[in-house]
Amino acid sequence: MSKRKAPQESPNEGITDFLTELANYERNVNRAIHKYNAYRKAASVISKYPQKIKNGEEAKKLDGVGKEIAKKIDEFLQTGTLKKLEKIRNDDTSSSINFLTRVTGIGPAAARKFFDEGVKTLEDLKKIEHKLNHHQQIGLKYFEEFEKRIPRTEMTKMEVSEITILELVDTEYIGTICGSYRRGESTMYLVVFTITNCPKLLHAVVEHFESIGFITDTLSKGDTKYMGVCQLQQNDEDEEEYLHRRIDIRLIPKDQYYCGVLYFTGSDIFNKNMRTHALEKGFTLNEYTIRPVGVTGMAGEPLMVDSEKDIFDYIQWKYREPKERSE
């Protein structure tokens, strides 16, 4: 199975693991995003189920678990394995493509192209490093470090450091670390930092992060989006050097800030559910704005939003704290 899985305390970890593995196969090898989403949703729902699931019929009562997934759960519980997964794991194409997509910068299409050229392992990638683009080279360089999840204690230190630096660069800022950190999870893979102010702020913040050694590598840098690599600086109390981590920084206009924070907090499944509910209530919602949809089907002017709760109120949905959004 993939090493990239979150630590779980669910009594149904075996089920959620095989569903996640199937999801990754459908996305990376078959490019079947609808199946990927279905497996992901089922895994998310089951991970929150407090009791050990006894059979597929019990699982089918949960929202997001259909007949086919229930059958797979029955097979897994009865045999301890899944024929489809065993076939996937023993298939050189599937296992190699799935592995290559774990290198940041290598998507399913690139992974298949590399596989067709005989590239299957990290050692194979190192032999053709000169052919990789900059993003892929960075992904290869830090592969082992990126595979390891970020402890919450490390993220908290980053949060204090980043907010302090923002205050030095510009006092008229709003800054929020989003993603699974904001949802209260104990570990995460990616630092997602959103800020709002004038367009020059993003470049100023990145340059300052670089000058103090916090940002070590840049993947891409625009006026509103930065992608790179960061490393928390070691101090006298730290026993060992911190690992390199992936970081995304987004600059969001003030009038779009809370829609952006909501979106980047996630989870992706929660966002999809919320957008669906918004449409049912006559609104269109994305990472930029929430707008009413008229009788012609056209979206109107963006509504004023001063908090995340405003968005929930517009669509008549009970407000959920970030820690309640890990679906």
Give me the active site residues, please: 72
* Structure tokens belonging to residue 90: 């023993």
Q: How far is Cα 154 from Cα 157, in angstroms, rounded to an integer?
A: 5
State the virtual CA torsion across 254, 259, 263, 269 in degrees, nearest 10. Answer: 180
CA–CA dist 239, 142 (Å, integer): 21
Cβ atoms of residues 101 and 43 within 8 Å: no
Alpha helices per DSSP H over 195-290: 200-211, 257-265, 268-280
Contacts of 282-288 spanning 24+ positions with Cβ under 8 A: 283/314, 283/315, 285/259, 285/311, 285/315, 286/259, 287/256, 287/259, 287/260, 287/262, 287/263, 288/256, 288/259, 288/260
Q: Which amino acid is at 45?
A: V
C-beta of residue 64 within 8 angstroms of C-beta of residue 37 = no
* Pick from 148, 146, 165: nearest CA to 228: 146
Task: Please state the separation of Cα 125 from the chain's center in Å.
Answer: 25
